[in-house]
Structure 1
Amino acid sequence: MFEEFMGIPAHPLVLHAAVVFVPLLAALTIGYAFVPPVRPHTRWVLGLLALGAPVSALLAKLSGDAFFARLQTANRVSPDYVPKLEAHQQLGNMTLWTTIGLAIVTLALVSFVAPRPRAAAADAAGRLGSNRALTLSLQALSLVAAGVSVYYVIRTGDSGAKAVWTGL
């Protein structure tokens, strides 16, 4: 299912969505966490991106797994090259998990941090959005989760590019 698209391996096509959406999610999450004026303008986009980025990472992983399996069954991978592809595969797994973590933190940030500072103070229902400690915790978590996710996207992409273009 995730192996080919119109005769072309799906992995090189699908992975570009993850390469764009995961860093975009990280950047918008940091913006939402630390720049309150952008919150009202990015809230819904950020929520949708928090759902879409992990899906794109999952599709990249599944298509990569299918591509690797196809190469192995067709004996198109030398035994010396398999560890390099397995290392890339492990980095792809870490990218998926860190993106899921970033998405969870982002959804919590969008849910519990008010889009406007005045809205948090005027929240008559006593929502958690007015809790300063929660806001600071989510800001710190979002910074860490965004950094780790971008790190793994870069490492995964670098290892895949080196595997394809230099054989390293």
Structure 2
Amino acid sequence: MFEEFMGIPAHPLILHAAVVFVPLLALLAIGYAFIPPIRPHTRWVLGLLALGAPVAALFAKLSGDAFFARLRDAGAVTPDFMPKLEAHQQFGNLTLYATAGLAVVTLALVWFVAPRAAATTAGGVGSSRALTLSLQVLSLVAGGLALYYVIRTGDSGAKAVWTGQ
């Protein structure tokens, strides 16, 4: 399922969703955590990104695993190049884990740190200052990790494809 799309390896096509959605999720989650005026305008988008970015990262990982297995089984990868692809694969795994963690923190942000208007109404979820501060720190750490790993994964993959490093 994740190996080809219309005769083209699926991984180079699918990975672009993760390359867009993971950094967007990280930056928007950090913005939501630290800039209260944007909360009412970005709440639903952020919730949808928190659901979609991990799926995009998972599909990129699965398509990459299928592509790697295909190349390895066909003998298209030399033994000295194998560690570079395995390192790229490990970065992809870490990107998936970091994105899943960020998604959990983001969903907690959206649920517990309500927009200013909803927090002041009787029906608003509201949040304590300690909870908000904890989620702000977690979103900064999780967002930073997700950004770091998506960049390292992309860099290692691009170097493997374009320069053989």
TM-score tier (shorter): over 0.9
Distance 2:48 2:80 in 1: 42
Q: What amino acid maps onto 2:163 in structure 1?
A: T
> Is residue 42 of structure 1 aligned with residue 42 of structure 2?
yes
Counterpart of 1:130 in 2: which secondary structure?
coil
Matching residue of 2:98: 98
Determine which of 108, 130, 133 is the counterpart of 1:133. Answer: 130
Matching residue of 2:8: 8
Given that 1:29 and 1:142 are in contact with CA atoms closer than 8 Å, whether structure 2 keeps it comes out as yes
Determine which of 131, 143, 146 is the counterpart of 2:143. Answer: 146
Distance 1:13 1:131 in 2: 43
TM-score by length of 2: 0.96
Shift of 1:55: 0.3
129-138 or 55-64, larger mean C-alpha shift: 129-138
Distance 2:154 2:33 in 1: 27
Distance 2:162 2:57 in 1: 22
Q: What amino acid maps onto 1:166 in structure 2?
A: T
Shift of 1:123: 5.0
Counterpart of 1:80 in 2: which secondary structure?
coil
Which runs of 5 or more residues in structure 2 are unaligned?
Answer: none
Distance 1:60 1:130 in 2: 35
Map 1:57-96 to 2 at 5 A: 57-96=57-96
Distance 1:101 1:130 in 2: 21
Given that 2:114 and 2:124 are in contact with CA atoms closer than 8 Å, whether structure 1 keeps it comes out as no
Q: What amino acid maps onto 2:17 in structure 1?
A: A
Distance 2:12 2:46 in 1: 26
| Shift in CA distance, 40/126, structure 1 to aligned 2, threshold 3 Å | closer
Counterpart of 1:41 in 2: which secondary structure?
helix
Distance 1:5 1:126 in 2: 46
Please provide the CA RMSD for this pair. 1.2
Matching residue of 2:155: 158
Q: What amino acid maps onto 2:21 in structure 1?
A: F
Shift of 1:119: 3.7
> Is residue 30 of structure 1 aligned with residue 30 of structure 2?
yes
Matching residue of 2:114: 114
Distance 2:127 2:81 in 1: 54
Given that 1:21 and 1:53 are in contact with CA atoms closer than 8 Å, whether structure 2 keeps it comes out as yes
